[in-house]
Amino acid sequence: MFIAHRACLLAGTALLACAAPSAEAEPVNGRIAFTTFESSADPAAGDIWTMNADGADKRQAIFDPGYDAQSDWSPDGTRIVFRSRHNNQYEVSIVDFSVLDPATGRPRVVELPKAPDGTQSSQPAWFPDGSALLYRRTNGPESTRSDIWAMNLDGTNRHPVAVLPQDQFYPSFSPDRSKLLFATVAPPSGRSIQVMDVATGAVTTLFDYSAQSFDSAPAWSPDGRQIAFESNLDGDMEIFVMNADGSNVRQITHNTLWDEGPAWSPDGTRFAFSRGADDLHLDIWTMNADGFDARQLTTYPGRDESPDWGVNPHPVSVGANVAPVLSLQLGTGGFGAFIPGVARDYSASVAGSVTSTAGNATLSAADNTGRSPGHLVNGTYALAQPLLLRAAGGTFAPLPADLLRYPGPVSNAQVEVQFQQAVGATEPLRTGTYAKTLTFTLSTTEP
């Protein structure tokens, strides 16, 4: 591949002229995030880990001495938002698995700015499109008063979403963002499951078994048609499912163990949840959405809780094609006038630019006229000494000559081509113009 320019080299009035530039599917097993209380030297400090849907490939996601919990996968499966606690202050952070911290080689963690009013943030949840966050807002780590707020991914634009007489917990939007689901409590009674119509603000109680029952941790199914939640209505904590309008409530687990925190699989066919003898000794399990085929994924001696089941990230390719380009532009210049009877080396130069998308490129010059090759001519007369030229401070050489090599792509790279012509004191010069048409070529072996 090459691009060639023809240039006319003249002596006397005008010297160099050149031509215009030219150119020649994906499984849905997902990954489960959870909080464990066994990996830290501090038994009260939680760490967030992730694992495959079958329990394999367990990896610590957050390396932090504080208390990290309440993880929620982003809709695209590339980030986790979670609650962190430092100096008795609850705030929200995001870990991005698509970006590595160059200092540690670990996924980058961004701690969002603290609320300017001094309130604390916990139980974060993504908007369905991943554009913002819901969270539970409290006046302090031990406060029982809480409301549901939202904020941008950088922690700005904090504003209330649901401020009700009762305290609200575990907020999440329906997949179409038309409903806000949450658990609520009004001491001394227990918790209940409620939903708010986003357009009207109307609140509906979906499940409230008794004034003393503990109904919590509601979770939308991926299609928005069902809601899973935990309740102790049979004496110990079990997992239940109901329709999105609160109808058709059915108990999924039936045992004397403690089952809590259901999280739907991305395809809605299974749950991840915590199971143990009590709420201090829990492991992560999965089961079918009907309660069958329960499988234990962790076997730690302490407590693993708050699972969340995220999708496998879908690779997204963004880019553009680059067409092959070899472009050479050269200006004009001149030697001036040759003076008979005076020995002299005459000099001239022209400025140019090179654009190449090739893996390599070579700028060369040749005399293809067939008349006194490499010498300026005036009719039938030719100068005795050959025309010499160079580029980029190289060595002057006669034609044909390779002037400059480009080892990779360049864009509008400036180049100066210099000419040198020797005329002796006894050399006869004929009246007229000495000239020669040269061919400059930009070529490549790696288009």
DSSP secondary structure letters along 277-345: EETTEEEEEEEETTS-S-EE----SSBEEEEEEEPPPPP----------EEEEE---------TT--EE
Compute CA distances 63 → 104, 282, 358, whole Å: 10, 22, 45
pLDDT at residue 26 above 60?
no
Q: What is the pLDDT of residue 7?
A: 42
Domain-located, residue 204: yes
pLDDT of residue 422: 97
Structural domain includes residue 316: no
Q: Inform me whether the pLDDT recorded for 241 exceeds 50.
A: yes
Q: Indicate the number of domains in the chain.
A: 2
Greater confidence (268 vs 1) lies with 268
Q: Is residue 319 part of a domain?
A: no
- Same domain for 424 and 296? no
Structure confidence at residue 4 (pLDDT): 42
Mean pLDDT of the chain: 87
Are 445 and 12 in contact by the 8 Å Cβ rule? The answer is no
Residues 13 and 61 both lie in one domain: no
Given a cut of 90, whether residue 314 has pLDDT beyond it is no
Q: What is the pLDDT of residue 316?
A: 65
Same domain, 60 and 130: yes
146 and 261 part of one domain: yes
Can you give the pLDDT at residue 22?
36
Q: Are residues 292 and 351 in the same domain?
A: no
Q: Structural domain of residue 179, as residue ranges?
A: 31-310
Domain of 261, CATH number, reads: 2.120.10.30
Res. 289: pLDDT tops 50: yes
Query: How far is 389 from 5, CA to CA, in rounded Å?
Result: 16
pLDDT at 24: 37
Burial of residue 249, with CB atoms counted within 10 A of its CB: 0-12 exposed, 13-18 middle, 19 or more buried: middle
- Can you name the residues that pair with 415 across neighbouring β-strands? 352
The confidence score (pLDDT) of residue 320 equals 87
> Is residue 88 over pLDDT 80?
no
Residues 217 and 113 in one domain: yes
Domain boundary, last residue among 259, 278, 310: 310
Which of residues 128 and 40 earns the better pLDDT score? 128
Residue pair 89/114 in contact by the 8 Å Cβ criterion = yes
CB 135 within 8 A of CB 82: no
Query: For residue 163, what pLDDT band results from cuts at 50, 70 and 90?
Result: confident
pLDDT of residue 214: 81
* Least confident interval from 57-66, 216-225, 290-299, 338-347: 57-66
Predicted confidence (pLDDT) at residue 139 exceeds the cutoff of 80: no
Provide the pLDDT for residue 297: 96
Instruction: Specify whether 250 is located in the same domain as 182.
Output: yes
Does 143 fall in a domain? yes
Helix (H, G, I), strand (E, B) or coil at 150: strand
Q: Where are the beta strands (DSSP E) in 358-446?
A: 361-366, 377-378, 381-382, 388-391, 397-398, 401-406, 410-423, 435-443
pLDDT of residue 143: 57
pLDDT at 292: 94
Q: Quick one: 103 and 202 in the same domain?
A: yes
Domain boundary among 310, 341, 356: 310
301 band by pLDDT with thresholds 50, 70 and 90: confident
Pairing mode, strands 401-406 and 397-398? unpaired
Q: Within a domain: residue 315?
A: no
18 has a pLDDT exceeding 70: no
* Res 3: pLDDT: 39
Considering the domain architecture, whether residues 140 and 16 belong to the same structural domain is answered as no
What confidence tier does 352 reach under pLDDT thresholds 50, 70, 90? very high
Q: Which residue has the tokens 């680059």?
A: 322
Tell me, yes or no, whether 284 and 369 share the same domain: no
Sign of the torsion angle spanned by Cα atoms 188, 193, 199, 202: negative
20 and 39 together in one domain: no
pLDDT, residue 407, reads 94
In a domain, 318, yes or no: no
Q: How far apart are CA 320 and CA 315, in angstroms?
A: 16
Report the pLDDT value the prediction gives residue 263, as an integer from 0 to 100.
Answer: 98
Residue 108 contacts residue 93 (beta carbons within 8 Å):
no
Using alpha carbons, select from 160, 236, 162 the residue that is nearest to residue 195: 162
Looking at the domain assignment, is residue 103 inside a domain? yes
- Does residue 317 fall inside a structural domain? no
Together in a domain, 381 and 256? no
| Predicted pLDDT of residue 17 | 32
Beta-carbon contacts of 380 under 8 Å, excluding residues fewer than 6 positions away, are none
Q: From CA 258, how far away is CA 273, in angstroms rounded?
A: 10
Which is nearest to 14 in space by CA: 418, 419, 436, 334?
Answer: 334
Of 310, 343, 368, which marks where a domain is finished? 310
Residue 429: predicted pLDDT: 96
- The reported pLDDT for the residue numbered 6 is 41
Task: Give me the mean pLDDT over the 318-336 stretch.
Answer: 87
